[in-house]
């Protein structure tokens, strides 16, 4: 059974940094593309960054390019998102996702019913 558990969210001031973590279990982590999505209040969930199974390919949404960095540790079954220069518009519930065989752009832009999801961790950027 696929399990994805996010952590690392919290309240941070504008301009600050956070690192989100996703602990994965129940599936061959190194075979899956992984991603981070967020859902802001009143908005649909959007893909912000995705990474291929061996991290050869990455995708970043325009809104986070140059500020966020996705990484993974296949030996530890962990996914990370380093978020720098945070803005109030980065506020939202951040989800970890896993998808077998999905190209990273497709995963981030158009997840399917077979995409697996965590429960989310809240990030609030406010002074």
Per-residue pLDDT reduced to its tens digit, 99-120: 997 899 999 999 988 899 999 9
Q: Does the pLDDT of residue 94 top 90, yes or no?
A: yes
How far is it, in rounded angstroms, from Cα 83 to Cα 3? 23
Question: Taking a C-beta distance cutoff of 8 angstroms, is the pair 51, 35 a contact?
Answer: yes
State residue 61's pLDDT score.
97
From the number of C-beta atoms within 10 Å of its C-beta (0-12, 13-18, 19+), residue 98 rates as buried
Instruction: Return the structure tokens found at 43.
Output: 């908005």
State residue 102's pLDDT score.
81
* φ and ψ of 106, to 5 deg: -65, -40
How far is it, in rounded angstroms, from Cα 6 to Cα 25? 12
């Amino acid at each position: 059974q696929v399990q994805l558990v996010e952590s690392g969210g919290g309240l941070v001031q504008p301009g600050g940094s956070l690192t989100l973590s996703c602990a994965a279990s129940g599936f061959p982590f190194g075979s899956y593309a992984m991603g981070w999505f967020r859902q802001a209040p009143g908005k649909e969930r959007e893909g912000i960054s995705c990474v291929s199974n061996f991290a050869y390919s990455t995708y970043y949404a325009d809104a986070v390019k140059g500020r966020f960095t996705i990484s993974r540790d296949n030996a530890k079954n962990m996914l990370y998102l380093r978020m720098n220069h945070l803005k109030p518009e980065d506020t939202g519930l951040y989800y970890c996702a896993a998808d077998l065989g999905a190209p990273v752009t497709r995963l981030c832009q158009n997840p399917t019913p077979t995409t697996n999801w965590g429960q989310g961790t809240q990030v609030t950027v406010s002074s």
